[in-house]
Structure 1
Amino acid sequence: MPRPRLVVDPWTVCEPDVDPRVAGVTESLFALSNGYVGMRGVLDEGDPCHSPGTYMSGVHEQHPLSYPEGGYGHPEQGEAMVGVADGSGIRLHVDGVPLDVRETPPEVHTRHLDLRTGILTRHVEWTTPAGTPMQVRSERLVSLVDRSAAAMRYTVTAPHVGARVILRSGLVANDEASEIENDDPRVSEVIARPFVPLARRRSDTGGLLVHRTAHSSISVAACAEHDVRGAGAARVELSEDRVMTTIVADLGPGESLTLVKYLGYAWSSDCTPEGLAERAEASVAGSRDLGWDGLIAAQHACLEEFWSTADVEVDGDPALQQALRFGLFQLFSAAACVSGAPWARRA
């Protein structure tokens, strides 16, 4: 597998262009987490991708184990980490054409993770097959302050000529693309669709899904809501495994459409579905009250305190300095909101 090309900088991890061949590496490199919930660093459109998904510490499914010969002490069941409802996807269509970096390579495509703010930023300049230039800027965070919260801001601009823009923002459970592959067909059957739907509801700007794993009996609630600037009312579709919010805007030259997506997660092995739903919805309500700027300020303040005591400076080797700070950032992110539950332990 080829290696991703990265810019050496002491405080950021920057990918100067997009290469679908290294998606598996960059999805891990740009993953965000807080010890409770973690989100793979996939492109906003979801494609191309290698192993997309959102995961929660402690959420797993059980599957059967077999042996050529029986033996004392052999466990009868294994445990596999499974992805919960994934809210990272925001698909863009311009004049009926989807943004897909494989079909229409963008003129500019950069992503950078700022280790001082914990924000993953993406900038795209793209011309549609019909010749319409477009600009996209997206930002993503998993809160280091509120363990249940994540958020994204997605801005589309038509810099020179008008365009009809459609955004499809999803919250999707039982997405087979995000699950673990296993050669044992019995294991694959169990973890391909690990969740059983318990409850769902729709709101004006998003919705809620509550599921339970079929064998380990872990319940998970996921909520998504949106604030929109530059378009009319959103349209929300709801099913057992999916909440899809659609926004349509006719942009004039120089106009922009901005979508802020707030996500909230909660899980338990003994809480009622309604109780979990309230936890996820409360997290989203708190995030919306702060707003995007408030979430960034809280994230920055948290990391500023961390770096004031944890930073290690290296003279004369910028690449080593970058690697050291990236390792410290990942260590902090993995434990910032940890709840005492590694991936195979019940709460």
Structure 2
Amino acid sequence: MAKIAKKYLEVNPWIITEKGFHPERSRVSEAIFSLGNEYMGVRGYFDEGYGGDRLVGSYFNGIYSETDINHPIKFKGVPEIWHFMVSAVDWLYTRIELDGELLDLNQSKVSDFERTLDMKTGTLTRQFIWHTQSGKQLKITFTRFLSMTSVQVGFQRIVLEALNFSGPVQVTSALDFSPVHEEIHNRSYWTVEKTEHRGDFWFALGKTETVEQHLVSSFSLTADCEYVSKDIKDDKLFGTQLEISLEQGRMVTLDKRVCNHADKKRGSDGDSVWEAGVALAETFRELTFDAALAEHVEYWEKLWKRTDVVVEGDDADQQGIRFCIFQLHQTNHGQDPSSNVGAKGLTGEIYGGKTFWDTESYCLPFFIFNNPQAAKNMLMFRYNTLPQALRIAESRDCKGATYPMESLNGDDSCVVWWHGNLEIHINAAVIYGIEQYRRLCDDNDFFYDYGMEIILQVCRFYASRGNWRPDGFGFYGVMGPDEMHTFINNNCYTNTMAKKGFELALAEIEKMKAEMPEKLLKLTDKISLSSEELDEWRKIADKMIIPKDETTGLFEQHEGFFKLPHYDIDSISQEEIPIEHNWAQTRRYRYDMIKQPDVLLFLFLHSSEYSDAVKKINYEYYTPRCMHESSLSPSIHSILAAELGKHEEASAFYAYATRLDLDDYNRNTHQGLHMTSMAGAWLNVIYGFGGMRCDGDQLAFKPSMPKKWDSLSFRILYKGSTLCVKMDKKNITLSIDQDEPLAVEVFGKSIELTRQETSIPMPADRCA
């Protein structure tokens, strides 16, 4: 791969540390040091302000604004409104002044700077010594966390220690609704409707433009010293300024407890939201920093015990996978049934906080095996936004339902309309996710009460979106997962996945006829499904065009792909990366170079249906053509490389996948973290080196061990049990935590797992 890591962080299995401030990496650090708890998230920006390059990102799941897309020429079926998650209140707002000098790391002289993200406890700490122009030295330590147990609460602790003086320091603490959304017009999208200092609390009520959602933010302060304070207020800022007398050598601690109440309803009532926010603050009146931190740490301790992945032999790999797991849990842990996983989570404004086409195929498996409730919530998001999917299909002259390429609320919001309209493969991924969740979590109630309606409406869309020709049925004018080829015909991934969607729908219809006829009748009446439609679907499934060289087993990504001019991707210089920004669009579209796996993706998703020989020839053909311009790419390549015994390639791709953001391989970490890639990195460990496959009748394992690893262990939740897997270069050992035996397949042989560990020798060819 023609990409190089940009390393500046310390390697430690549990901790991300920046020693010495790197201003040229400021925004990258803000993304990497992000904290979240699904309800809200903050980038790792400096509490005290910063005059250099930065993005103050404070986000709330489901809080957004809208703007007109303003197409110069409007066409039917193209979205006209762009919605996007807005940066909200900066509840960490702090300013520190000493002898008339304002602390600003862009101007101030500091030493011993260190910033640490402790993934074991979910806390961010930053400390340094400020050397003022008057010669004074003040050691400052900031600590913050967003409670995983009381998700509307966040805490900040500031510790001040005068090293060579005694005297006053001014500290301002406030709520600031002025942070701008850079990508859309570079301005704030909030108005502050009300502020009040009531007893120990400072309150501010903000309202978003256009959508008119409301957010009440409040804070209270606790200090272990005497101070004098006065309120401060500006157009979008409200808080207090403290004057604290410092004594040389004595540490002073200032704790800030913040309660945020966000109402997602469009056009919510400000007065009602205000009262709810005031009541919330009262609820947490007695909650101290230390007590909340203890609960928070206990939550993470239990979570890591259940979901940790342990890699022995390479600290960089260990740090990388833990960082991915940590950020995924911060993004979604089943707290809100209306939440989904945004492409950047709550770590940046690029992609607007929206979930994309890849959520079900990449992110959902992580939550299925680690937090089934969170997985169900993600699929309920699809069901709850089915009405919008029906409207989108109608706007595109189709029947049934088609889900948007990207969306925060279910509406189509893809400004690059040819992506939004042509990437119809998203619907097949939704079907795949529904079926995976049903089988792996045994949730038939969800499947038949909600999932089947989605599946049938998607099949109805596909039947109306495709066309017949003499040799079969296919989809024309589409785009597959590889976004370097557009307006193509019969994309192999799209056709294959849609075919399987039709087959699933038809099989389940027959099952419902036999086992639950009343439920089937109610469903078919609700959506007016006819027997004629089902007959047509059978023909479509049987005659779906799948481009393939039957002699070699090589799938053609889309019709005509094999005839495209070849481009040597190794000849592309670092200065040209990412080519999405440095090449003309039409230049990217005209070669056999691909952005990310397309054929290889469905070979992975439906692994049990394809032989090693078929996987090998396709892997060896498409890998040299893949630019990995998408963060989704490395993990799938690593998984297939591990399966095929290409150990060195598997390890190289893995390091790239887990450290994509930590080492900024794609030079875009500053925009926010790649959540789907992080889920892909987890897949990389469990499905790649763990060799797990879950698309067959039972879980199957065909593990492999990288050369530099001594051992690997992980746990997954499966059918009510915790399955523990440990492996090294000699054995793979499995056990479960329940009395009822569990049948799995290991190296092609079925075995029954119990509480007692079962060890199986690791074949020599499965070790690097």
Normalised TM-score (structure 1): 0.90
In 1, Cα distance between the equivalents of 2:124 and 2:24? 20
Change (3 A) 1:23 1:249: same
Kept in 2, the 8 Å contact 1:125–1:134? The answer is yes
Paired residues for 1:235-274 under 5 Å: 235-268=230-263, 269=265, 271-274=268-271
Amino acid at match of 2:209: A
- Measured against aligned partners, the alpha-carbon deviations of 1:282-327 in whole angstroms (never above 9, x if no partner) come to 4444444120110110111100110111011101100000111111
How far did residue 41 of structure 1 move? 0.5
Classify 1:256/1:134 alpha carbon distance in 2 versus 1 (closer, same or farther; 3 Å): same
Q: Which runs of 5+ in 2 are unaligned?
A: 341-352, 354-407, 411-768
SS of match in other structure, 1:84: coil
Change (3 A) 1:204 1:236: farther
Question: Counterpart in 2 of 1:158?
Answer: 162
Kindly provide the amino acid, as one letter, of the partner of residue 248 in structure 1.
E
Q: Equivalent residue for 2:530?
A: none
Instruction: Note if 1:340 corresponds to 2:338.
Output: yes
Amino acid at match of 2:128: V
Q: Are 1:201 and 2:196 an aligned pair?
A: yes
Structure 1 segment 73-222 matched on structure 2, within 5 A? 73-176=77-180, 179-182=181-184, 188=185, 192-222=187-217
Q: Secondary structure at the match of 1:75?
A: coil
Letter in 2 for 1:17: G
Question: Do the aligned residues in 1 keep the contact of 2:177 with 2:192 (CA within 8 Å)?
Answer: no
**2:45 paired with 1:42:** yes
Q: Does the 8 A contact of 2:219 with 2:258 survive in 1?
A: yes
Structure 1 residues 174 and 160: alpha-carbon distance in aligned structure 2, compared to 1, 3 A threshold? closer
Does the Cα contact within 8 Å between 2:56 and 2:179 map onto a contact in 1?
A: no
Residue 185 of structure 1 corresponds to none
Structure 1 CA distance for aligned equivalents of residues 6 and 146 of structure 2: 26
1:48-106, Cα deviation, whole Å (9 max, x unpaired): 34211211011111101122322111222111211111112211112221222232331
Q: Which has the higher contact order (CA 8 A, sep 6+)?
A: 1
1:71 alignment partner in structure 2 = 75
Where does structure 1 lack aligned partners over 5 or more consecutive residues?
183-187
Do 1:15 and 1:110's aligned partners in 2 also have CA atoms closer than 8 Å?
yes
The equivalent residue for 1:309 is: 306
Relative distance call for 1:104 and 1:196 in structure 2 (3 A) is closer
The answer to whether the 8 Å contact 2:219/2:257 transfers is: yes
Match of 1:291 in 2: 288
Match runs of 1:277-288 below 5 Å: 277-288=274-285
Closer, same or farther in 2 for the Cα pair 1:279/1:14, shift >3 Å?
Answer: farther
Q: Is the 8 A contact 1:206 1:236 kept in 2?
A: no
CA contact (8 A) 2:212 2:268 kept: no
Q: Deviations over 1:13-39 (max 9, x none)?
A: 111111111111000011111111111
CA 1:127–1:24: 2 relative to 1, 3 Å: same
TM-score (normalizing by structure 2): 0.42
| Range moving further from structure 2, 115-124 or 248-257 | 248-257
Check the 8 A contact 1:44/1:88 in 2, yes or no.
yes
Query: Which structure carries more strand by proportion?
Result: 1
User: Residues 318 and 283 (structure 1 numbering): CA distance in 2 closer, same or farther, change over 3 Å?
Assistant: farther
User: Alpha carbon RMSD of aligned pairs, Å?
Assistant: 2.1
Give the structure with the larger helix fraction.
2
SS in 2 for 1:117: coil
Q: 2:221 corresponds to which residue?
A: 226
How far apart are the structure 1 equivalents of 2:303 and 2:241?
38
Distance verdict in 2 for CA 1:13–1:284, change over 3 Å: farther
Q: Is the 8 A contact 1:149 1:283 kept in 2?
A: no
| Cα distance in 2 between the residues matched to 1:9 and 1:284 | 38
What's the CA shift for 1:245? 1.4
**Is this contact kept in 2: 1:149–1:284, CA < 8 A?**
no
Q: Which amino acid aligns with 2:409?
A: R
Looking at structure 2, the residues matched to 149 and 279 of structure 1 have their Cα atoms a distance apart, in angstroms, of: 14
The answer for the alignment partner of 2:449 in structure 1 is none
Q: Is the Cα–Cα contact under 8 Å of residues 222 and 264 in structure 1 kept in the other structure?
A: yes
CA distance in 1, matches of 2:30, 2:284: 25
Deviates more, 1:224-233 or 1:111-120: 224-233
CA distance in 1, matches of 2:283, 2:142: 21
8 Å CA contact retained: 1:45, 1:90: yes
